Structure 1
Amino acid sequence: MTTYVIGDVQGCFDALERLLTAIHFDSSRDILWFTGDLVNRGPQSLEVLRFIKTLGEARQKTVLGNHDLHLLAVAYGVRELHHDDTLQAVLAAPDRNELMDWLRHRPLLYEDKNTGFVLTHAGLAPAWSLKQARLLAQEVEAVLRGNTPAYYLKQMYGNQPDLWEDRLTGIERLRCITNYLTRMRLCHPDGRLELSYKGRIDTMPPGLIPWFDVPDRANSNVKILFGHWAALGGKADVSNIYPLDTGCVWGNCLTAMRLEDEKRFTVKCG
């Protein structure tokens, strides 16, 4: 049995198929982990969702990304499509309801205690221990999986509060958890989020730092796999940090990392 972690697919099913061929994926034996953002921008979001769902719970582990949450918000009627969204085929599919129910039951954080790896879409808030992160992710997951997911999805948008505090309550607490787990790239030195910048580290605004460089980060001993930040190019010169979004949807490449030896495999996209 081999486990491969795959970066943001974003509807690029053809590239995913080529990558699976390159790693000789065997669905009867191997396991795939996905860093989230399965959908949107690419042309084949429906095919991606159907394929990963068909793998079953034993052969895949998938965390939610911001684009996946956006799809759910649109599907539940609390958000409009953006002009550059490519989600129409999913929304019109005969199995739409089954796919959306499957998607909303994906976690925001997956921890594999055997290997010590943790999977999230954007990373872990600098102030959180792994235990705290796990519990906070479960708070959001419980609402998404409950009887009124639209309540959360309608109010999850917004950049405030931008600094985690244990005393946060209600939708502000859920929104802050979601933003750290699915939208985070840069922070202020105190861990406050800066959510507008999406570019490279060497051109980031002064006074800001990557979330994984925040001083005294509480989870620095945790091996964190994440996507979301394509401009990193899959590289971060920091111990225990494994970025895997290599910008497939922007014509770059799709990357998988084999957990057993941390070897990477890539296929060109576009």
Structure 2
Amino acid sequence: MATYFVGDIQGCFDDLQHLLQQADFDPQQDQLWLTGDLVARGPKSLETLRFVKGLGTSAITILGNHDLHLLAIDAGLAKLNPKDKTQPIFDADDKDELLQWLRQQPLLAHHEAYNIIMVHAGISPQWTQQQAKQYAQEVNAQLRGDDYLALLTNMYGAQPDYWSEGLQGFDRLRFIINAFTRMRFCASDGQLEFHNKHSPATNSNTQHIPWYEVAGPHLDDAHVIFGHWAALEGECSHENATTLDTGCVWGNSLTMLRWEDKAVFSVPCPIYAT
């Protein structure tokens, strides 16, 4: 049995299939862990959802910002981005089944045997990994509950951008969601910054620090695998973190890591997003 971790698919279904063929992935024996953002800019978001759902326990996926946005669109709480190619999902006969399944997926997954935490964007530098697990469960409990529409209604926005254990209600849940699904740079004290999408190499603002370089307890124990930040191009400066979003939708590549031997598999991708 092999354990594979793959970066953001974003509807690049054919590229995912090529990657799995390259690695000889066997769903009867192997397990595929996906860093979220199954849907959005690529041409086959519907096929991607169906495939991952169909893998059953052979797939572990978490929610990314595009996945949450998809749920909000379906609920009539957000508008479809013209750049996203997700309309076929809303036209599909199995839409309700697919989105019900998506809504049950977590914000954080922990591979206990290998002590790996998988998140979409990262872990707030103000949190321990145990706290991150707890906070992820708070959001997932609300998202999976009968009142999930209230969460989808109130999840948008950039405030609060600094964590306090005293945060309550939707302010608290919004920060948790933003840290797990939108974070790239932070200030040195862990304050979230949402506008800077550059790579660390091209970042000119010295007050903006990659979340994984901010001093804190967030990378002290389990190894963290994340996606979301395509501009990193697979490069992460922290020894206890690995990034896997290599910008497939932007015409770069789709990347997958086999954990047991650290083999890296990659396929070049056409430009899907403009």
CA distance in 2, matches of 1:225, 1:243: 6
CA distance in 1, matches of 2:154, 2:237: 36
Give 1:210 deviation, angstroms: 0.1
Give 1:46 deviation, angstroms: 0.1
1:118 alignment partner, SS class: strand
Do the aligned partners of 2:219 and 2:240 also contact (CA within 8 Å) in 1?
Answer: no
Do the aligned partners of 2:33 and 2:59 also contact (CA within 8 Å) in 1?
Answer: yes
Question: Could you say which residue in structure 1 is the equivalent of 2:13?
Answer: 13
Do the aligned partners of 1:63 and 1:120 also contact (CA within 8 Å) in 2?
Answer: yes
One-letter identity of the residue aligned with 2:147: T
CA distance in 2, matches of 1:153, 1:261: 40
TM-score, length basis structure 1: 0.98
Question: Could you say which residue in structure 2 is the equivalent of 1:243?
Answer: 243
1:25 aligns with 2:25: yes
Point out where structure 2 has 5 or more consecutive residues left out of the alignment.
none
Q: What are the residue-to-residue correspondences of 1:111-260 with 2, within 5 Å? A: 111-204=110-203, 205-260=205-260
Give 1:206 deviation, angstroms: 2.4
Give 1:248 deviation, angstroms: 0.3
CA deviations over 1:162-192 (Å, ceiling 9, x no partner): 0111000000000000000000000000000
Do the aligned partners of 1:128 and 1:219 also contact (CA within 8 Å) in 2?
Answer: no
Give 1:118 deviation, angstroms: 0.4
Question: Could you say which residue in structure 1 is the equivalent of 2:62?
Answer: 63
2:132 alignment partner, SS class: helix
Question: Could you say which residue in structure 1 is the equivalent of 2:90?
Answer: 91
Distance change (3 Å), C-alpha of 1:164 and 1:15? same
Question: Could you say which residue in structure 1 is the equivalent of 2:3?
Answer: 3
Q: How many residues align?
A: 269
CA distance in 2, matches of 1:92, 1:22: 32
Do the aligned partners of 2:219 and 2:241 also contact (CA within 8 Å) in 1?
Answer: no
CA deviations over 1:142-162 (Å, ceiling 9, x no partner): 111001211101110000000
Report % sequence identity.
49
CA distance in 2, matches of 1:75, 1:155: 15
CA deviations over 1:110-166 (Å, ceiling 9, x no partner): 011110100000011111111110010000001110012111011100000001110
CA distance in 1, matches of 2:12, 2:124: 29
2:201 alignment partner, SS class: helix
CA deviations over 1:37-71 (Å, ceiling 9, x no partner): 00001110000000000000x20100000000000
CA distance in 2, matches of 1:8, 1:162: 25
Give 1:77 deviation, angstroms: 1.1
Write out the 4+ residue segments of structure 1 that deviate beyond 6 Å after TM superposition: none
Do the aligned partners of 1:45 and 1:87 also contact (CA within 8 Å) in 2?
Answer: yes
Alignment RMSD, CA only? 0.9
CA distance in 2, matches of 1:149, 1:215: 34
CA deviations over 1:76-109 (Å, ceiling 9, x no partner): 1111112212110011110000000000000000
CA distance in 1, matches of 2:81, 2:220: 36
- 1-10 or 194-203: bigger deviation: 194-203
CA distance in 2, matches of 1:196, 1:222: 28
One-letter identity of the residue aligned with 2:89: V
TM-score, length basis structure 2: 0.96
CA distance in 2, matches of 1:23, 1:218: 31
Give 1:199 deviation, angstroms: 1.5
2:267 alignment partner, SS class: strand
Question: Could you say which residue in structure 2 is the equivalent of 1:103?
Answer: 102
Do the aligned partners of 1:163 and 1:191 also contact (CA within 8 Å) in 2?
Answer: yes
One-letter identity of the residue aligned with 1:61: I
Do the aligned partners of 2:110 and 2:117 also contact (CA within 8 Å) in 1?
Answer: yes
1:265 alignment partner, SS class: strand
Point out where structure 1 has 5 or more consecutive residues left out of the alignment.
none
